[in-house]
Amino acid sequence: MEVVQNRQTKRKTNWKKISVWSFAILAAIIVITVISLYLYISRSLPMTKGEITIGSISSPVKVTRDDSGVPHILAKNERDLYIAQGYIQAQDRLFQMDLSRRQASGRLSEVIGEATVENDKYFRTLGLKRAAEASYDQYSDEAKEILNWFAEGVNIYMKELEENGKWPIGFKLLGYQPEEWKPIDSLTIGKYMAYDLGGHWENQAFRYYLLQNFSEEKAYDLFPSYPADAPYIISSDKLDIEKSLASAIIPPEFNGSNNWVVSGVKTASGKPLLADDPHLSLSTPSIWYQMHLQSPEMNVSGVIFAGIPGIILGHNDQVAWGVTNTGPDVQDLYIEKRNPDNPKEFLYNDKWVEATIVDEPIKVKGKETIEYEVTITRHGPVISEFAEESGKEDVLSLQWTALEPSIELEAIVEMNKASDWEQFEKALELFHTPAQNFVFASQDGTIAYKANGKIPIRKQGQGLLPVPGWTDEYGWEGYIPYEELPKTVNPEDGFISTANNKVIDESYPYHISNDWAQPYRQMRIQEVLKTKEKLTSKDMMALQMDQKNLQAEEFVPILLENLDASLKGYEKEAIAILKDWDYQDSKDEAAPLIFNLWMKKISDVLFQDEISTEMRGLFKGQKQAVDELIRRAAKGNEGPWIKENGGLSNVLHKSLQLALKDVESLQGSTLAKWKWGEYHQIYFPHSLSSVKPLNYLFNKEGSIPVGGSSVTVQAAANKEDGTVNHGGSWRFVIDTAEMNVGYHLVGPGQSEHPLSKWYHNQMRAWVEGDYHQTYLTDVKGEELTLNP
């Protein structure tokens, strides 16, 4: 017996030894694998210090990357400067640049596969690349040279990668190498930015859908205003909007921005202050790339979209500028009647007119090429055909200013060199699309505002609904003259601010838009700027991070006054929390969580059972519409949407219950422990992080709680799951008394390389408002010399 026990003890001991050794071996294999993977990926880190011979340039170019990874490029002439800009952008953002041109051109399927075919069909239909090609012919020889120099720099870097094989990890994972960079690629990305800032065709389609599917009373209840005239077309049932546009790719609703300038009479320095924070999608890498470009001809600092030369927003040593989206109606849908005997012809003034048919074959990774045709009428591309559910008799075509030739790069070059308001305003005349609210500040004391771009003048209507395409009674008859676009210079108030709000009053003779953002960001900005004097850059940064929710300040009293008396349990606790709230959307409080989810559930209660998810995706003014429905109902004028859901009190009670139920499932039953930031978190997702386990490489930081919301100055709109995916993609402040330095935030960082120290180094800074300073002179950092 003792022998048997000894044997068993030895076996256990041996197994323990084996287990320990097995674990040690496994751990060693994991460590070796991780180290090997790290070394393999780190091979593709770009060289940021030392010397590189790149050829092509005529003199050495000095590139200094400061502590925030911002490249400062110093060249002896413009040619060398733009070649270096292309080279340096490619070092930090080549994979993003290639995906951007593929997205805009409808060529993602070539490297991704079937998953992006519908996306490619949509962008082939829009024709952003066709518009870019038409635009190139309009450019001056000087601008074409800049485009070619930039492309040359990108291609020099790609040639290096071909020789050394150190391609960025994105190319390795998808198994392809990028094609040569061409000037058209830069212009196509520029056209995509115009697409991303939208133009309201979705709202026209949604209103048409309302009139097709609901009574006029219910349809008009959701219009931005009650139209004086009857709708143009309400009888046609041949065109199914829901099926026709179900696959459309819609830009984010909250693409907007804040900007303001303050005159020296209200600042501590006695010189103007400027602040700008464009609101776009938040991802890794950032949509913006920050740079400083210096040559004998210019000294300009700011941001640019990766893949484009110059600086689009920022400052030079004499002037500064920023933008918000004007949001004008620059897109119109036309209902086109197709010839039943010839699908290539459409009716116009009682005659069948042949459309242009463009072959757009779509290559698909691992599959056969898809033959695809785009139909272009006299108004523009037919955008309902790609959904394959319509197109037999009536179709929708799109007329859009961005599909016309335009020369924005000419404007950017002139803006970069401007030394005063007159020169800057002249440059803006060349900036046709997208239409933006430019604010301007100069060291000479001037502050100014100007809306730029081509905004159409319509023969009839104001862009509320699709119009007949078979007659010349509708359509465009020119554009608002440049000299008559909204403008303000040195106003008596001492400041100018815009936040996608309505920029004109009823006396303005032209139509600009039916759809404006909720007014709360603009109201808060003006509230602060009106009441404070001796403002500083620090005050401007604090205002950009301001979390005061003026929507809550307006609606919480209305909501509480109109609830019935049958509240119990959680409901009473929630109401008590809201009553004590200071209306700050703080990440550490429960009140903003309750309020923001409650407002979301009001929309769901009103629309979820009657309007499909796809069509609500086209309802871009939904929040504004719900605000107005509540306002009217609280004044005793309940519209049909609220009446049919049992009245305002019932809608509010039901939506409150649904909101509280959701929060309980997320954060438990103790209301005192609920926090906005436990739900509302920033992630900055990388396009490849959705494929596990790549998320551990590309999004290793995870999520961070953040305050603010879609209606606060610190813009932070979120998805259904609470993930913040939209907000201040770049924050910028400058005091023109000291043009040498600007204050910046580009979340999450400058580099797309996951092992770069500049990859996610600004992620927490974005949450906390920790700006970095970028200088025009005496720059310090890692120095790289590009040699001829």
Which positions are annotated as active-site residues?
257
Identify the three-state secondary structure at position 351: strand
Q: Give the span between the Cα atoms of 719 and 710, in whole angstroms.
A: 11
Q: Is 379 exposed, middle or buried (CB count within 10 Å of its CB: 0-12, 13-18, 19+)? A: buried
Q: Phi/psi at 316 (nearest 5 deg)?
A: -115, -155
Q: Give the span between the Cα atoms of 278 and 276, in whole angstroms.
A: 6
Determine the angle formed by the axes of helices 622-634 and 648-667, rounding to 10 degrees.
130
Identify the three-state secondary structure at position 331: strand
Please tell me the chain's helix, strand, coil percentages from 3-state DSSP, rounded to the nearest 5: 40, 20, 40
Closest CA to 127 of 104, 99, 111, 109: 104
Q: For 709, which DSSP code?
A: B
Under 8 Å between Cβ of 446 and 490: yes
Q: Give buried/exposed letters for 766-785 (b at 16+ CB in 10 A, else e).
A: bbeeebbebebeebebeebe
Under 8 Å between Cβ of 469 and 348: yes
**Residues 6+ positions from 312 with CB-CB distance below 8 Å:** 302, 303, 304, 305, 412
Q: Which two tokens stand for residue 178?
A: 């990028």
- Cβ-based neighbour number of residue 2 at 10 Å: 6
- Report the number of secondary-structure helices (H) and strands (E) in the chain: 25, 30
Cis amide leading into 60 (omega within 30):
no
Q: Is 153 left (phi over 0), alpha (psi -120 to 50) or beta?
A: alpha
Q: Is 553 exposed, middle or buried (CB count within 10 Å of its CB: 0-12, 13-18, 19+)? A: middle
Q: Is 585 annotated as belonging to a binding site? A: no
DSSP string, 437-471: EEEEEETTS-EEEEE-S--EEESSS-SSS-EESSS
Q: Is 580 annotated as belonging to a binding site? A: no
User: 81 to each of 113, 715, 785, how far by Cα in Å?
Assistant: 37, 35, 12
Binding residues for Ca(2+): 329, 332
Binding residues: 329, 332
